[in-house]
Structure 1
Amino acid sequence: MAFEGLSERLQKTMQKIRGKGKVTEADVKEMMREVRLALLYADVNLKVVKSFVKKVSERAVGQEVMKSLTPGQQVIKVVKDELTELMGGEQSKIATANKPPTVVMMVGLQGAGKTTTTGKLANLLRKKYNRKPLLVAADIYRPAAINQLQTLGKQLTLPVFSLGDKVSPVEIATKAIEKAKEEHHDYVLIDTAGRLHIDENLMDELKQIKEKVNPDEILLVVDAMTGQDAVNVAQSFNDQLGVTGVVLTKLDGDTRGGAALSIRAVTEKPIKFVGMGEKMDALEPFHPERMASRILGMGDVLSLIEKAEATIDEEKAKELEQKMRSASLTLDDFLEQLAQVRNMGPLDELLKMLPGANKMKGLNNLKIDDKQISHVEAIIQSMTKEEKEHPEIINASRRRRIAKGSGRPVQEVNRLLKQFEEMKKMMKQMNNMTKKGKRKGFKLPFM
């Protein structure tokens, strides 16, 4: 995640004050010195850092902290609150026009990932919000820009409106809206031209499109990896065009994350979406409070739950729960679950959303190779139906056959079977504990 460096530094700083029964002004001053350095190192705008430190300092030595029974914890709450506020306070949702279609202009510099983000946003609108978007190819200058959007449309099975590269972008946008009304599309996403840097011709064209189609949203796509340059780009586009929101791409990359913390404060425009990977479903609504929790190592359980709800079949999940309770889980069930979890995204990123994940040794450097999961799948798929349902029948000769069929060593087959057996034992123990608990009149918190 983009904030790993900042997250690590802030968590170390917070740890020093967390358990303190009494917090002095000197403690707060020392903590804020380290917070200031952490933010500057993360490439956060200097004015933003000064304002943030001032606000936290004032609240941290105020009555709400000093009179608190747990002042250390209260200071951390202050930092989280102010960090949330810095990134916008609450989620800013995409606009919805009173009378469809909702028109969204996608703008930004060349190379920020604007065309791909346009496709991702259309995919998100369809899957998460059940909308019917129309993609519009209005970038007539960049070689293959139209083809790229058409390819994305084909991949996502979404319609793309194009009049080629000989018609003006203003006319393309106008005709696209007419088409959207005819075919009852509720969103029109216009992929406009970008440049390597901001110039007068680019801005004039974007202003003409804006004037002609009167968009409900002007979303600026910015590459988070460009650091402070991202903030400068956002400010320039906003001054000349009046953007309504920002989409940060490559927030999963090796970047300091300062752009996400600075853009909202400098432009006063909300971050509406963030790109967290290259796949077409790797665009997420931006939640300031959840991001603040993740930065401070408090996890992001709500996002994890949403990912699970979007990818895991509810009926199958209930069926699996029953099997887990009765410890009758088969290797086929296990295989099905692996497939559903894989759809949620990279496992190392999912683990980092858990509260306290920052305290798990080596998790920040953990990279779960997708191949490992593929190997497990290959081993299970090389078993017969009977073997999957009754793994206890798998003797030495069967193990050799499974190893050969999956192309994996016998040791890996042995390890998988042993781990699966241990998991079933653990489920049986948990179920027994729950039954005993019910008899004694209480329920275990995880059941």
Structure 2
Amino acid sequence: MDPLVLGGLVALFTIAVLFSGVSVALGLLIVSGGFLVVFDGMRSLELMPEIFFGKLNSFALLSIPMFIIMGASIASTRAGADLYEALERWLTRVPGGLVVSNLGACALFSAMSGSSPATCAAIGKMGIPEMRKRGYPDGVAAGSIAAGGTLGILIPPSVTMIVYGIATETSIGRLFLAGVIPGLLLVSLFMAWSIYATVKSGNAQVLTKSVYTWKQKFEILPRVIPFIVIIIGVLYAMYGGIATPSETAAVGALLCIVIAVVIYRLWSPAGLWMILRDSTRESVMILFIIGAAGVFSYMLSSLFITQSIAEWIGTLEVNRWVLMGAVNVFLLIAGFFLPPVAVILMAAPILLPIITIAGFDPIWFAVILTINMEIGLISPPVGLNLYVINGIAPDISLKTILTGSLPFVACMVIAIIILCFFPGLATWLPDYVMGTAT
């Protein structure tokens, strides 16, 4: 059978299996095993365990559970509330300042936790009721938190970037640095829209009601600064050549637990156990998907599907930006239905040869891919962040939350367009800090 036709069959069967309700990892194993048996015989199943565990035999993977523990320890404290309150005190006089404060808190919290749902829950529990109380439209209040929560998969340290680095054998350090400027760009676009929407709605005057003294502004900082210092310390240790990403993640996780215990009095063994339990559960889920995706990639390569697709794309006489547009549409659709980790692990083996042949930088493409995944987090039907916000504020309809999120989706699309015109926004910092990639 022609490999391209076979690739189409694999795509159809994969979609059907995943839509049947089975987990992503199990679905990938079912599809991989089925096609290997049909086209390579029963003996091919003997290789599946070796490939599965071989994919997990990487020191870099240790950084995933460590960063997850780091985020879980922060999410279990009042760190989110403190971040929100600190920024609210400092930005209260800015037009749209409360929304800007929430977005800033989301950016900082998501950078520490790396979890979109945790960010939405931590910041939204305080931010949404306060914004609504001060007269902000429900759509702006809910949409800003839903969009702000997505920043965690772009701003370093990012578990999504780690997964991309492992799947494509790309430098994780470079990927982290590549997300910094685009992350700040997205935050700026979100804030600009929030200020505009607030002024346009006529609610800018509500921001003058809260006046804080300089003492009140500074007294909240000691609770926030330690976490910011940890982020800076983690990045410095990584890029200063002091430690590897895995070692840095372990130290960061330990320091976050210590801060949770010392500053937030998380003395309870039950609380510490919950951090470890939740972190283990999420880590195992991600690692299970990584192992299954390794088997899936082996199946695609063994049946010459990946090679044939890359070769076919290389023979097409189309503008490379048309090709990139098609790739973005594919990523958007995939992100509507699957979590970012699954999309990256499934698509990277196929897309990486394509974008390389077309002359695109894999580091730059990682940022484009990640922003597409952010759009999926606030887009139906799966849109996890939409349901988290609805759980926090059940009296705000999903339609209102979605409507409020759409302008932020437009901001993400604008960010992708800007990055296409100015790819150096993603590649300059990695090249400056770590030297030009060879």
Greater helix proportion? 2
Q: Sort the TM-score into its range (normalised by shorter chain).
A: under 0.3
Greater strand proportion? 1
TM-score by length of 2: 0.25
TM-score by length of 1: 0.24
Determine which structure has more spread, i.e. the larger CA radius of gyration: 1
| Greater RCO, 1 or 2 (C-alpha within 8 Å, sep 6+) | 2
